[in-house]
Structure 1
């Protein structure tokens, strides 16, 4: 069975998630933005075998620890979409701007496209390209768990910011309504910040996308 544990990291309390098979203990980490000693301590405490890094997008609080973690544990970096290459290239500047520890740029081992899949211990998650917050943002959906790891596309009661370079409000709303809603109202999503919610709850109450 596929399970996950969410661990807030960095001063921005970014929801870094460990996704793992409860029998083999094979694991992937989604958005290792920082606080790597605490993250790796949790990995070791759970007895997990960390095998992959999956990225939703390349803002510093989501991707800041990626290069170091990949080098430290010999892990492949999967995602995001190539539209975020300029954000990856700018990670050192992002880190300095927001007072984060030094962060290195990197080249993902695999860029992701809409309709791709990622696989962990035989479990398949679907990839949807959901631009708007950043141009290369992707979402990981597990029909098996009825869970979606959505980064900064959607939050409980809010949506991602669109005032960063190459962000776009209309594009973000289209990503939510055309790419997320078809996953089903009963799908629970893990946002990049804050508490979990369901797509159905947000369609009913979120002021930005209510009734869409």
Structure 2
């Protein structure tokens, strides 16, 4: 498997920022740099990789708070999320106030992502799935060869994303999980925005919110 990853919990919300890289080229991407950039930079240095871009699943502050500073300091582009999350990016200062974070810079992604797009990391290609519900512009990154998905706050080990934020929608979220994620295969492992990894098969069987056996 030539896609490697390292999970770096950041912010008081212990958000799973992920460093992913192509083992052949040592080119890397940072997914969801919510903050604690010193920790992220230390992980990059420890792995000896060259970061070529930032990928965002969605624009809540614990996922996107460090984006502008990291992009500027490293001179790298920002790809994602879907343009429907632009109002969350524009509202980063308001989010900071709400959750007691330092107000981060607002930014504009170099590339908004759509369902069916692909992003590259070195020689590796990840598929983009638009998965609204937690936020309207949420996307998931799927690396088919290694059966690995980065699902942000759509699905968790034993739970699902919150839908009580502006433009969140519970039924839309359930549809995203059952119609977009589960068909990728029971064997797909996923890194979620918070907490431990799981597989789609396990969640389909046991997750009380989306399992085949829910009441």
Into which bin does the TM-score normalised by the smaller protein fall? over 0.9
Where do residues 91-130 of structure 1 align in structure 2 (5 Å cutoff)? 91-130=92-131
Q: For residue 142 of structure 1, what is the aligned residue in structure 2?
A: 143
1:159 lines up with 2:178 in the alignment = no
Structure 1 stretch displaced more, 199-208 or 89-98: 89-98
User: Offset of 1:94 from its aligned partner?
Assistant: 0.9
The count of corresponding residues between Structure 1 and Structure 2 is: 212
Secondary structure of the 1:83 match is helix
- Residues 157 and 196 of structure 2 are in contact (CA less than 8 Å); yes or no, is this contact kept in structure 1? yes
Where do residues 52-201 of structure 1 align in structure 2 (5 Å cutoff)? 52-201=53-202
Distance 1:23 1:139 in 2: 24
**1:65-115 deviation per Cα after TM superposition (whole angstroms, max 9, x unaligned):** 000000110110000000000000001121122111221111000000000
Give the TM-score normalised by the residue count of structure 1: 0.98
Distance 1:127 1:71 in 2: 24
Distance 2:47 2:149 in 1: 22
- Residues 8 and 39 of structure 2 are in contact (CA less than 8 Å); yes or no, is this contact kept in structure 1? no
Q: For residue 40 of structure 2, what is the aligned residue in structure 1?
A: 39
Secondary structure of the 2:18 match is strand
Distance 2:45 2:123 in 1: 22
User: What is the root-mean-square deviation of aligned Cα atoms in Å?
Assistant: 0.8
Secondary structure of the 1:51 match is strand
User: Offset of 1:182 from its aligned partner?
Assistant: 1.2
Structure 1 stretch displaced more, 93-102 or 2-11: 93-102
Secondary structure of the 2:25 match is coil
**1:155-205 deviation per Cα after TM superposition (whole angstroms, max 9, x unaligned):** 000000000000000000000011001110000010000000000000100
Distance 1:183 1:30 in 2: 20
Q: For residue 3 of structure 2, what is the aligned residue in structure 1?
A: 2
Moved over 4 A (4+): none
1:202 lines up with 2:191 in the alignment = no
Distance 1:50 1:92 in 2: 27
User: Offset of 1:23 from its aligned partner?
Assistant: 2.9
Secondary structure of the 1:5 match is strand
Distance 2:200 2:97 in 1: 35
Secondary structure of the 1:61 match is helix
User: Offset of 1:121 from its aligned partner?
Assistant: 1.2
